[in-house]
Every structure is written in C-alpha cells, then in structure tokens.
A = this chain, B = another copy of it.
Amino acid sequence: MKIAIMLYDRFTALDCIGPYDVLCRMPGVEVVFCARERGEIRTDSRMLGITADVAMSEIPSPDVLLIPGGFGTRRLMSDAYTMEWIRGVHGVSQWTTSVCTGSLLLGAAGLLNGLTATTHWASTDLLETTGAIYTEQRVVEHGKIMMGAGVSAGIDMALTLVSRIQGDDVAKAIQLGIEYDPQPPFDCGSPTKAGPDFVALLRAINEAEEQAS
C-alpha cells in the first residue's frame, strides 16, 4: 500500500509528521512525501525543511492521500494544477484524508459539498465557503474521506485510519509503539475549553502571521 503525503510551501509539520509516524508503522506500507516539484519544502515557520522525494506528477494513483494543513493552503485553493491532481487521486484512491486546513483543499476540489467536515477551529468559516458544513468533531469520516481537526488531531485521525485499513489490533500496537497516552499539561486544547480570551488572542496572532506572509 502506497500512502502519499502532499507537501507545499508553508505547510505545518506536525499535521503530517503525526500521521506519518503512525502510518509508516503499518506492515507493508510505503509512505511517500510528494510536492509540485521534488526537493526541500519549508514549513510555515520557515525554520524546518522536509524533503519531497517525488513530484506529484510521479504519483498519480496512491492508495491513500493525506493533505496536511498550513497557511500555504489558502493560495492552493485556487491553484488549478493542485485541484486537478487531488481530484484525479481521489478518483482512484482507497482513502482521501486531510489534517487541519488540509480539508480546505479537499473542499476547494469539490469533494466536501454538503458534507460535514472538520478543519482547524480558526478556519471554519473558510471551510464552509467550499460547501462543507463544519462540525466540532476531532475525526470526521464519509465513505473513503477522513478528516482530522487542527494540527495534533492528525495523530488521532491516523490511528483511526489504521484501524479501518488493518484492524484495531494493529492500530493499538502502533498507539503503544508511539507511547500515545497523552497527558496535556492544561485542559485548553479546544476553543470551548480554552475560552473566548485565548481564542481571540490566537485569532489575532494567526491573522497577523497571514498578513505578514
């Protein structure tokens, strides 16, 4: 089974590395990082580069597609090449998946029309412009489409995906392998739990970062 993770300029690293380090542990799986062109792709912070080992054109029919989020998604929503590639892959994939604002690209490609969907909590309005209906769930499934919420939700999404592909026992073994027994130091990982002040602060930071870029 071949799993393609699509990179692009200004992706968020944890969105794809959480799922990568879950999915690559499935027996018989090959995870392939791809991008418009081969080579190093830098993250949203610019402090990290990850290698795209193949060009998207070289991997037109992976069994699983995973699209991470990041500020770079905004520009790609109107990029014809990316939209056509995603639709082509989705036409033949066993699973089409996203983490965080990666779902904006599934939506822009027309895959989420009328469906409940998830994304980073700060991008729900933008998601709904694509015809999707935001729902506050950490993992959302519709047939072969699976979406995780913001950033760290990709780990929960990927473990769920493993359980669908190779069964609960493999997923449990992988969860133990990555010692995923989370103990967050605070109980503030969602807008509801964090409260309006933190939400307003983060929205302001996000907007400043988008404008600066």
How many copies are assembled?
2
The DSSP consensus for interface residues of chain A is mixed
- Interface flags for A178-201 (1: CB within 8 Å of B; 0: not) read 111111111011110110001101
A-side interface residues, number (CB < 8 Å): 63
Q: 16 more A-B contacts (CB under 8 A) besides A17-B17, A49-B50, A163-B185?
A: A12-B21, A14-B18, A24-B48, A31-B45, A31-B48, A48-B50, A51-B51, A120-B179, A150-B177, A150-B178, A152-B155, A155-B182, A160-B185, A173-B205, A176-B202, A181-B193
- Closest residue of chain B to A168 (Cβ to Cβ) is B186
Q: A198 and B179: CB pair below 8 A? A: no
> Mask for A80-119, Cβ within 8 A of B = 1, else 0?
0000000000000000000010000000000000000000
